[in-house]
């Protein structure tokens, strides 16, 4: 920003917990953006591995653009609470998220700001994300890379609650958080992240709310890299059995139960949404208990 007193257009929020290995690369990918009007909020979720010092150093070297935030007493409160700290301190009209082990391509903000400018009826935009194995430099890892697609037709506007219907039919995915750019005023319709979800499915709960209320412009552009590595939160959840691509877990059932309570709280009257949600909850619950009975 040429004028240090001017408010940034985009507030980028990076939460981190013990992300010493990769956080500098994430920050550098924001500094490398071709779009000039941004701020970066680094939200420390109680790190103990040296990541805090790296974040503070970047904030000290770029005080006009980067701020360091943490919970009272340097507590660990989880992903949702940390993202909410970033949202509460953000000054931009638009908000983007970048986890500390992921990377934005240099045109990410420029392309997405242009998309929202071109489609003022859209409250948020996102697209496919590259599942990034090749960061290791090993050609064999690079060959494993795939795209995490949204599954719906790209380069189109979806008015609410169309995306939620697709999601509940298992015909659409939620975006990776590093792919999203959202108008801050739209958060008045969705609320912030649900702090009861400290890790698993914390993004899913937020995007269920967004899909219910917001118009989404889905693009075909790949603008971010979702790093795949053995020390990520998801990798650890897979090892402990709390998360699986192949079978329902208790955490997934809990997400759908939360959705039921959220629909009730928001007084959702759309019968199709209710039918789809209850069917998905029942199917997931049965898939959890039937194998136990056979055993």
Residue-level pLDDT at 227: 97
Mean pLDDT value across residues 266-289: 93
Tokens 């408010």 belong to 7
Partnered with residue 96 across adjacent β-strands are 12, 181
* Sheet hosting strand 216-218, strand order edge to edge: 66-70, 38-44, 10-16, 94-97, 181-183, 124-126, 216-218, 156-158
In angstroms, the Cα distances linking 142 to 98, 134, 137, 138 are 22, 4, 7, 6
CA 64 to chain centroid, in Å, comes to 25
User: Alpha-carbon distance 260 to 275, whole Å?
Assistant: 11
Say which residue, 234 or 111, is predicted with more confidence: 111
Neighbours of 199 (CB within 10 A): 17
Residue-level pLDDT at 5: 54
Mind listing the pLDDT tens digit for each residue in 33-62? 999 999 999 999 999 999 999 999 999 999
> 10-243: which CATH number, 3.90.550.10, 3.40.1160.10, 3.30.70.20, 3.40.50.10090?
3.90.550.10
Domain assignments of the chain as residue spans, ordered by start? 10-243, 244-289
* Contact between 270 and 232 (Cβ < 8 Å): no
Lowest pLDDT segment from 18-27, 180-189, 228-237, 254-263: 228-237
User: Alpha-carbon distance 295 to 211, whole Å?
Assistant: 38
pTM above 0.95, yes or no: no
Is residue 190 pLDDT above 70, yes or no? yes
């Amino acid at each position: 920003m040429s004028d240090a007193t001017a408010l940034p257009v985009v507030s980028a929020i990076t939460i981190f917990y013990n992300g010493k290995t990769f956080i500098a690369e994430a920050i550098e990918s924001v500094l490398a953006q071709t779009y000039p009007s941004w701020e970066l909020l680094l939200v420390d979720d109680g790190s103990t591995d040296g990541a805090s010092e790296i974040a503070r150093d970047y904030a000290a070297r770029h005080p006009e653009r980067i701020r360091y935030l943490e919970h009272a007493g340097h507590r660990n409160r989880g992903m949702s609470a940390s993202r909410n700290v970033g949202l509460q301190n953000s000054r931009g009209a638009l908000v983007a998220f970048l986890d500390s082990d992921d990377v934005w391509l240099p045109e990410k903000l420029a392309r997405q700001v242009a998309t929202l400018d071109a489609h003022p009826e859209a409250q948020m935009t996102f697209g496919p994300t590259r599942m990034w194995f090749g960061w290791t430099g090993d050609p064999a890892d690079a060959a494993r890379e795939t795209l995490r697609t949204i599954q719906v037709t790209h380069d189109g506007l979806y008015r609410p609650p169309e995306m939620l219907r697709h999601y509940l039919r298992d015909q659409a995915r939620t975006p990776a958080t590093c792919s999203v750019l959202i108008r801050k005023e739209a958060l008045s319709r969705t609320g912030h992240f649900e702090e009861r979800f400290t890790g698993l499915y914390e993004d899913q709960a937020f995007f269920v709310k967004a899909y219910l209320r917001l118009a989404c412009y889905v693009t075909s552009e790949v603008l971010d890299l979702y790093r795949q590595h053995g020390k990520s939160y998801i990798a650890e959840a897979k090892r402990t059995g709390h998360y699986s691509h192949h079978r329902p877990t208790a955490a997934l059932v809990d997400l759908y139960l939360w959705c039921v309570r959220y629909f009730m709280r928001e007084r959702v009257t759309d019968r199709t949404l209710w039918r789809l949600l209850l069917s998905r909850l029942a199917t997931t619950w049965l898939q959890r208990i039937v194998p136990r009975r056979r055993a």
